Amino acid sequence: MAETTKTHSITIAQRPLQLSWAGVTDLGRRRETNQDAFLAEFPLFIVADGMGGHAGGEIASRSTVARLEAIVESGAVDREAIENALELAVADIADHPETTDEGTGTTLTGVYLDVAGDEPQWVSLNIGDSRVYLLRDDRLVQVTTDHSVVQELIAAGKLSPEEAEGHPYSNVITRAVGASELTPPDYLTIDVRPGDRFVICSDGLTKELTDYGIQHFLRENADPGDAVDAMLAAALENGGRDNVTLVIVQVSATDESSSTDGDTSE
């Protein structure tokens, strides 16, 4: 079960808004360890999916999340702080006695609310093949681009998205935190709009649920905690072949003049 939905009030262009979020991580049905980790603390919402033998994957994802949690506690979440935290995470992973395997590393995907400018904005970041989706105006879009061999083949026109499913290289990612060296994340800036909902997830969710399925559970569940629980249950029912982790963040208008919040707009 997800932890209870948490909230935080913000004001954008004199308009009161509420952020609410929930997250969950689960072993799944086939794996013996959970190598995923997540962080859902305003203003940073992150999923990390570790890889590597023995305890390596777990150490990589947890070290990275711990370093990011520290910058949330220090109150300075921006690009520079994130990249400094990632450098420290890479050192933690390299120094750990159990991470001798060169393939040890983690994906890192998520969003943070950048409040430094005149108007707060979302910034998405991505390394690897965990994903950020955005449901806006009832349309689901994948915000991040996977750093994976299969995605590169699709981009080069050598593989169709249909052929990609079950491809032997479907688990091979081309960027990670801690694998050999650290590449900076891809960033994308997104304006803040009431009604928006982000889904941040590891591939354990997207292996079991299609984009249509994700959209369906968002439509059916106005509360982030309920949506998280419904998607996890569906992923487990569909096989739970990998660790499943997801965080949902939504933006609601709290002034009475607006009805763009939740599922009431239709």
Residues that bind Ca ion (CB under 5 A): 49, 202-204, 242
| 90 versus 173: smaller Cβ distance to Ca ion | 173
Residue 214 tokens read as: 């994700």
| 114 versus 208: smaller Cβ distance to Ca ion | 208
| 194 versus 204: smaller Cβ distance to Ca ion | 204
Least distance (Å) between residue 115 CB and Ca ion: 31
| 92 versus 203: smaller Cβ distance to Ca ion | 203
Least distance (Å) between residue 89 CB and Ca ion: 18
User: What whole-number distance in Å separates Cα of residue 184 and Cα of residue 74?
Assistant: 22
User: What whole-number distance in Å separates Cα of residue 169 and Cα of residue 37?
Assistant: 23
Residue 10 tokens read as: 């913000």
User: What whole-number distance in Å separates Cα of residue 266 and Cα of residue 264?
Assistant: 6
Judge whether 39 and 52 are in contact, CB under 8 Å. no
Least distance (Å) between residue 129 CB and Ca ion: 8
| 237 versus 263: smaller Cβ distance to Ca ion | 237
| 81 versus 127: smaller Cβ distance to Ca ion | 127
Least distance (Å) between residue 49 CB and Ca ion: 4
Least distance (Å) between residue 71 CB and Ca ion: 24
Least distance (Å) between residue 242 CB and Ca ion: 4
